Each structure stands twice: as structure tokens, then as C-alpha cells.
Amino acid sequence: MENILDLTAPRSTAEAVFDRLYEEIVNLDLLPGSRMSEAEVARRLGVSRQPVRDAFKRLENLDLLDIRPQRATIIRRFSMPEIENTRFVRLAVEMEVIARACEIWNDTRAKQLDASLTEQKAALDAGETERFHQLDYSFHKLICDLGGHPMAFETISLCKRKVDRLCVLSLTHDHGGAAVLKDHIAIATAIADRSTNDALALTRHHLSRLDDTIAEIHKTHSDYFQ
């Protein structure tokens, strides 16, 4: 079978397979509860089974796959207790990052964050949902970097990865992208003004936006959940 992976970049076959499957799972091309097999994926991507096995293990470590010996591997369904705990941890870390960023913010940092907002608006206006999702991710990372706590984003990133699929769904309901951008602009303004209380309140509101989406998806797509 023709190899459909882009292996021109300096990365291993296992990394390329992981990136491809991660993208398909997070973008909901592969739905929660769907079955997968090493043999089928290897045939589809034109690779041997070993890099697929390695990629499966990494995806399992991210709670995206359930690998069950002697049974079919499935795309992991959402777990409400895990989602709630993950979001609690993320909120605690991100609120502290925001508070400390407000203490040291200046015009140079504000301009860099404004540039991110400009990119987000351009992606949204162009209807580039996937790119907007990536820029949303980068916006929160940039605040950590500019705020002097880049390593904090490792925890935030891990939390985000566990609910990324829900974030993608949220951008397809009720013009979610526009609401996210509006939040980002307000948060950036509050940080630039070094208004800690406002920035924290806006961040808490921003991170709570997924509540209604989770409730809606849980109601209308109960088969996506454990």
C-alpha cells in the first residue's frame, strides 16, 4: 500500500504514526468507542506494525486509547470524573500563572500577546477551525512563557490534551470560536492593565465555557462517555 504519511520531516516512523492518529482522534475523525487494530492501521498508513504498536502505547498513556489484551483496542470514551479532576488542576495552575503574569506585564509582552490575538481573528474570519484551535493552545502557552513560568504549561498542556476532543466539539457549537476569541481579548486587556482581579475572574469564566458543551454532549452523545 502507498505510504500516506509525510516522513520528510526529521522524525521517526513511530512519531509520524502517533502524530497522525493523535490528530485523527482529537479532531474526531475517529470517534470515542470506535475500534482500532494495529494491523488495520499499519495497512492504512503503509507502515509495519511495530511503529503502530509504539504509537498505540503513547496514545494509551494520554488516555486516548483503551488497549485490551485479547480484545479490540478502542478509542477511549470520555470519563466525567477524570474530566472534572483535569479541569480542576488546570484551573488552579492557570489562575496562578495569570496572577503572576499581572505582576510583571509590560508593553513588550502586551504586543506579543496582541500579535497572537490578531492571528486568532484571522483564522476565525477565514473559517480555519483547526488552525484557530492550535492558536488557542498557543495563546495559553504564550502567557506562561511571557509570565515567567514556561514549565507550568507542561501541566496545562497535559490537562488540555485530555479534553481536546471536547474543545473541538465546542468550536462547532454556538459559534464557540467567537466566544473564545472574545474571552482571550478580555483576558489580554486585563493582564495588560495589570488588573489581577479582573484577569482572574475572566480566566475562570473562560475555562468554564466548556461546562455547557460537556453537559450537552453528555446528553446527546451518551455513547461517547464511559
Supply the DSSP string of 113-177, one letter for each residue. Answer: HHHHHHHHHHHHHTT-HHHHHHHHHHHHHHHHHHTT-TTHHHHHHHHHHHHHHHHHHHTTSTTHH
Superfamily in which the 80-224 domain is placed by CATH? GntR ligand-binding domain-like (1.20.120.530)
pLDDT digits (tens, 9 = 90+) for 155-211: 999 898 888 787 777 665 545 889 999 999 999 999 999 999 999 999 999 999 888
Q: What angle do CA 9, 12, 13 make, to 5 degrees?
A: 100
Q: Domain boundaries in the chain?
A: 13-75, 80-224
Residue entry with cell 514549565: 151
pLDDT digits (tens, 9 = 90+) for 48-96: 999 999 999 999 998 899 998 888 899 999 998 999 999 999 999 999 9
The model's pTM is 0.80
Q: Topology of domain 13-75, per CATH?
A: Arc Repressor Mutant, subunit A (1.10.10)
Per the CB < 8 A criterion, the answer to whether 147 and 108 are in contact is: no
User: Phi, psi at residue 77, to the nearest 5°?
Assistant: -75, 160
